Amino acid sequence: MRNMNATKNPTPQPTRSELKDLLVLARFTSVYCRAQHRDEPAARDDDELARLGISSSRFPLCGECRDFLAYAIRRRLRCPLDPKPTCKHCSVHCYRPGHREKVREIMRFSGRRLILRGRLDLLWHYFF
């Protein structure tokens, strides 16, 4: 289990597989935001997200979606389970109920859209 001392390390450093999952979540959120919030201005970079390689130039997001993504990443990195199962197979739900529905909506919308655009590599992430 990871060290959960919040005073020394507010956000734990992600493992390689966690970083891959977080980048998939950022890509899905960006696709969703681009389609749903076209008229919203893009938010500035968040230091916590930029540290993980999630910049506004790579994943343009409005303020609401950037806040949601930052929340989702914090929750994912602070997961008490080791090794972390995929969220759909997890017995402990990290997200608040409203956020859980939001991540389902984002994954459902963006997953279909990306697969139809030829991103078949994301099928692997979906099924496993």
DSSP codes of every residue in 65-109? HHHHHHHHHHHHHT-S-SSPPPGGG-SS--S-HHHHHHHHHHHHH
Domain count, the chain: 1
pLDDT, residue 32, reads 93
| Whether the model pTM is above 0.85 | no
10 part of a folded domain: no
Question: Is there a domain that residue 111 lies in?
Answer: yes
Q: What is the mean pLDDT of residues 72-83?
A: 82
Question: Does residue 79 form part of some domain?
Answer: yes
Q: In this structure, is residue 3 part of a structural domain?
A: no
Residue 9 lies in a domain: no
Indicate the range of 78-87, 92-101, 109-118 predicted with least confidence.
78-87
Residue 16 has pLDDT above 80, yes or no: yes
Domain span at 81: 16-127
Residues 24 and 125: beta-carbon distance below 8 Å: yes
- Residue 75 is assigned to a structural domain of this protein: yes
| 8 found inside a domain | no
Tell me, yes or no, whether 106 lies in a domain: yes
pLDDT at 54 over 50: yes
pLDDT band (50, 70, 90) for residue 8: very low
